[in-house]
Amino acid sequence: MILQSIRMLAVMTVITGIAYPLIVTGIAQLAFNDQANGSLIVENQKVVGSRLIGQPFSDPKYFWSRPSATSPMPYNGAASSGSNQGPTNPALAEAVRERVSKFDRKPVPVDLATASGSGLDPHISPAGAEFQVERVAMARGIPEARVRELVQRHTAGRQLGILGEPRVNVLLLNLDLDRLK
């Protein structure tokens, strides 16, 4: 009985500890290569960020990400969470008022005034990007039309044409802005 148990342990170890992970990894590499290999962006042998995790930007020459509920900065690399504040919580209303007051014109797109649900959202809405075009163009001394062109290039539509909302990846957009000559 003990010998039979040891054999079964060895067989199940090979199946669940070696074969299954190799099969799942192989399928992931074939079907979801980009996601399976991570999302780090490397330039000049230096990691500059991740396409899938929001990055903090505060300089006026950059597009700003959605705020994060985890800290005053847009993103806190040590934490990923939203807040427990409901829509009737006065603290949430005050946080939104404070975020809106940082912009010199109104109305502010909702994604620039409300925190990301995960605290790690790498995208803003096309309206959120358009709202920032004038500031970014002025800070960089380039025409607004050129900045809008980059926003358009980085605007992704709905997944499968029906899922989600159009979005702009802030990190990729800002990296392209830095490449402008």
Which of 172, 147, 170, 178 is closest to 63 using CA atoms? 170
Say whether both 43 and 103 belong to one domain. yes
Q: What is the pLDDT of the chain when averaged over all its residues?
A: 86
How many domains does one find in the chain?
2
Say whether both 116 and 175 belong to one domain. yes
Q: What is the pLDDT of residues 99-124, one digit of tens each?
A: 888 888 889 999 888 887 776 788 99
Say whether both 120 and 56 belong to one domain. yes
pTM for the whole structure = 0.72
Residue span of the structural domain in which 20 resides: 2-34
- Token output for 26: 């192989």
Say whether both 49 and 22 belong to one domain. no
125 vs 112: CA distance, rounded Å: 9
Say whether both 19 and 75 belong to one domain. no
Cα Rg for the chain, rounded, in angstroms?
Answer: 22
Eight-class DSSP state of 86: -
Q: Which long-range contacts (CB under 8 A, 24 or more apart) does 134-139 make?
A: 135/60, 136/60, 136/61, 136/62, 136/63, 136/177, 138/60, 139/59, 139/60, 139/61
Say whether both 99 and 14 belong to one domain. no
Say whether both 10 and 48 belong to one domain. no
Say whether both 17 and 90 belong to one domain. no
Say whether both 48 and 126 belong to one domain. yes
User: What is the chain's length?
Assistant: 181
Say whether both 59 and 6 belong to one domain. no
Say whether both 28 and 50 belong to one domain. no
Q: What is the pLDDT of residues 56-90, one digit of tens each?
A: 888 999 999 888 776 554 444 445 556 667 778 88
Say whether both 88 and 139 belong to one domain. yes
